[in-house]
Structure 1
């Protein structure tokens, strides 16, 4: 018998999009719900995101008239991921419409379709995309609640408060879920409260031990179940090394001080099996002066070269495939080489967070030169090789065909590129010549949007032992669980979409 500090029906550990979906699912159905967030702010990595959510075949896509369906999504997912995790694949696509219908019954939760292509050329693909997004959230609707939502990455890492105005992207998603959750009257949410140990009685997880904001231990009884949705191991350098996860903790896009695998360790201690701990949602990162990384997406110019000065990939690849190409190539250093064609030292890509070019140049994370040969000398690559790489790429740009890596042939490649009009329109908008000095080179590192390995779960999000049996009372979703997509990233919003679906399914299973 435990001397419980507090009791609830459902305990949710974490506060990202998946965790809050699970919490709202429980609270909206009258279950007393407790949410624990170990940092001072709600939202986790979800708050940093653009909040595209891969929930296919829903009423949102139907309203947009894009021709999506559950069957198309099923075909696409199977074609990309293969025959592994078939039961969870099916649960994902079959439950997505139900999740959206349930959420949109709440006046605070509204979604719309926005174009963003699926990431692989495969049967069932939507070239314009099928992901949905939360509507932007006006500041006068969220009120003081904005102060407990994690702001976007550059603001958060600078330690600044959440800015005034409309919340967009992941902040809008977290804000809307918090408003819906508080409105149920059945939820309690605590920040600066870190769960670290699971409590087991007669083989069933019945609660957790945590440390509250005052540093005091608390014992929480969860009558229906415990849902772990507290991120992956990306912020824990030791666990990354132990599991052979490429990259570095300081290069990850996870919030600082969060996502250190505490609950993964706790689950393993009570018998949970794990998978994919060497995996992540990869992306290229722009190295920042403080040694951290900035998520780079939407490359629209320049070329990436290795420490020999050679290109080795299609720079317009979807970011996970870009990261995987970096891992496979194993170059000690990579640089994005670009020119002044955009009016100065402007990175021809989106960088999140973004800092002024002058800070990069002063710190040496970017270098500049008047000629390609001088640039090669500054980054330590053979000048003749870099010159040849640039000249070859410029020839591809002139003719509109990247013979080496086929850049610009996929709908995703041109998604972030201005098409141009009239006589000035380039033959391939994804290929712009590197011709106007001065020239620049930015150091590019391997980053990630979070790890994707964790505890193994079934279609109802129950945490599994090595023999496949479920640990009663224990559930996991999001990056605390091993992803059903394995070593693939099928489309924008798959991490959020799977987290939301499987958090929902976890709570539905607890109720039965």
Structure 2
């Protein structure tokens, strides 16, 4: 039956973060007309808020900067951590990562460098100092009129401000800006913001486009002659889906930008019989409650200790954030928790958080930070048993004096030392402070089951022709583990690239429904 389309392209990409823009750029660079469909007014999603460490092992970036990394070392590390689950996707990821970086750096708009940032587990194949690469900073002037499309830093975005034109774009904003610039320069790419994807359109058993709603409320039918990539994030801002699937935390506590990631791409694919996995999983992290009630992503502590509702420690506070988040999720008494510290910081939060926590005064006024002259008074303010809190701090101080955390080994791992020395500092200098921690996340990590080419599968293992997924719209091949910094964005980019390779290499009539 003939279809009436409002717009037609070779490739339609739903979403605008790392994996989406990687697929869009590679498709457009190959000469395919491509549309990026973004629900909000800005591109970049959660990736724009990130530091954009990319877990892309064995690339030319590591080699030219003298980092002792290789594809074989990364394979050893992933096998030791994940076993043989999803081996096909693991091998596809490992093979494609170096090739992808090489292709991207062939474009003058795209440049990367190594950044020291340790892997998150002590396993064979771990690289001292880490193997992450990050995008080079970018002068805002190079973007011209495209700058207004790039999502600002989290603090400015939450305040309704745009990008600072006097400050180079760094981290996630540099990644998004560079990919956007490269995409724009192909001459084959369109970006459509304020456009919410709602349904997938099929002809026979093949996906040929989407139905979306534009800013004016008008429904649009957008054709993707070769296929559609769903890379519009997870469903972390959807309370009902989180509750239905048992995802830890709360939609209000997610770090994802407001108005994003409510699960429409997932729901649309489910209507076509797509298989799913890991729907109860998320990329977890502790969240420091800010004066406006929103969370700040805590990626590491430089002092203090963390206690639960019983006034007790329950984990190594210097664990990588996802691992600490999983410790929080294991017991309701740990949400909220409190970071207890003393006046050596002048009341400033003793850790690295995004957005930066700032001075103590706004937190004290908002009640997100407590201050007292004694531990007993502090315990009353945060409603934990005073005797237990005092004993916990005294025990911790003894560990700090000796340099060895006998309960949780906080001083032992490379990750904890990366944020500052010493890892263990006594808490003895009044006044004392307690900052509130909740369980936040960087997005859900369960979603559509895909194959090594990024094609969405049904429960029987066959592929839904013309439909691809990447990033948090798809189920991560790392399962419940978070191997290292930049794994979410790195894998999203790689599987976005693999989807592009499949889209570029096949004419519509040659697409097979069998994976």
* TM superposition score normalised by structure 1: 0.97
Q: Is the 8 A contact 2:446 2:473 kept in 1?
A: yes
Q: Is the 8 A contact 1:61 1:68 kept in 2?
A: yes
Output aligned runs, 1:305-344, within 5 Å.
305-331=307-333, 332-342=335-345, 344=346
Q: Is the 8 A contact 2:30 2:504 kept in 1?
A: no
Q: CA deviation at 1:384?
A: 1.2
Q: Which runs of 5+ in 2 are unaligned?
A: 506-515
CA distance in 2, matches of 1:29, 1:333: 50
Q: Which residue of structure 1 lines up, in the alignment, with residue 401 of structure 2?
A: 398
Q: Which residue of structure 1 lines up, in the alignment, with residue 355 of structure 2?
A: 353
Out of 452, 455, 460, the residue aligned to residue 459 of structure 1 is 452
Q: CA deviation at 1:374?
A: 0.8
Q: CA deviation at 1:278?
A: 0.8
Q: CA deviation at 1:449?
A: 0.5
CA distance in 1, matches of 2:395, 2:188: 63
CA distance in 2, matches of 1:144, 1:433: 51
Q: CA deviation at 1:257?
A: 0.5
SS at 1:492's partner residue? coil
The Cα RMSD (Å) is 0.9
Q: Which residue of structure 2 lines up, in the alignment, with residue 29 of structure 1?
A: 30
Q: Which residue of structure 2 lines up, in the alignment, with residue 127 of structure 1?
A: 128
CA distance in 1, matches of 2:17, 2:487: 14
Q: Which residue of structure 2 lines up, in the alignment, with residue 376 of structure 1?
A: 379
Output aligned runs, 1:96-245, within 5 Å.
96-164=97-165, 165-245=167-247
CA distance in 2, matches of 1:161, 1:32: 29
Q: Which residue of structure 2 lines up, in the alignment, with residue 423 of structure 1?
A: none
CA distance in 2, matches of 1:145, 1:405: 48
Output aligned runs, 1:440-451, within 5 Å.
440-451=433-444
Q: CA deviation at 1:145?
A: 1.8
CA distance in 2, matches of 1:511, 1:377: 63
CA distance in 2, matches of 1:445, 1:266: 31
2:306 is the counterpart of 1:304: yes
Q: Which residue of structure 2 lines up, in the alignment, with residue 432 of structure 1?
A: 425
Out of 407, 410, 430, the residue aligned to residue 410 of structure 2 is 407
Deviations 1:11-45 (A, max 9, x none): 00000011000000100010110110010001100
CA distance in 1, matches of 2:267, 2:360: 41
SS at 1:312's partner residue? coil
SS at 2:467's partner residue? strand
Q: CA deviation at 1:290?
A: 3.4
2:261 is the counterpart of 1:263: no
CA distance in 2, matches of 1:241, 1:442: 27
SS at 1:51's partner residue? coil
Q: CA deviation at 1:328?
A: 1.4
Q: CA deviation at 1:65?
A: 0.9
Q: Is the 8 A contact 1:229 1:476 kept in 2?
A: yes
Q: CA deviation at 1:358?
A: 1.5
Q: Which residue of structure 1 lines up, in the alignment, with residue 369 of structure 2?
A: 366
Q: Which residue of structure 1 lines up, in the alignment, with residue 74 of structure 2?
A: 73
Q: Is the 8 A contact 1:312 1:329 kept in 2?
A: no
Q: Which residue of structure 1 lines up, in the alignment, with residue 495 of structure 2?
A: 502
Output aligned runs, 1:39-50, within 5 Å.
39-50=40-51
Q: Is the 8 A contact 1:92 1:501 kept in 2?
A: yes
Q: Which residue of structure 1 lines up, in the alignment, with residue 469 of structure 2?
A: 476
SS at 2:143's partner residue? helix
CA distance in 2, matches of 1:336, 1:511: 51
Aligned length: 501
Out of 385, 388, 391, the residue aligned to residue 388 of structure 1 is 391
CA distance in 2, matches of 1:202, 1:299: 54
Q: Which residue of structure 2 lines up, in the alignment, with residue 247 of structure 1?
A: 249
CA distance in 2, matches of 1:61, 1:330: 42
Is the deviation greater in 165-174 or in 284-293? 284-293
Deviations 1:275-321 (A, max 9, x none): 11111110000112333211111201000001110000100100000
Moved over 4 A (4+): none
Q: Which residue of structure 2 lines up, in the alignment, with residue 295 of structure 1?
A: 297
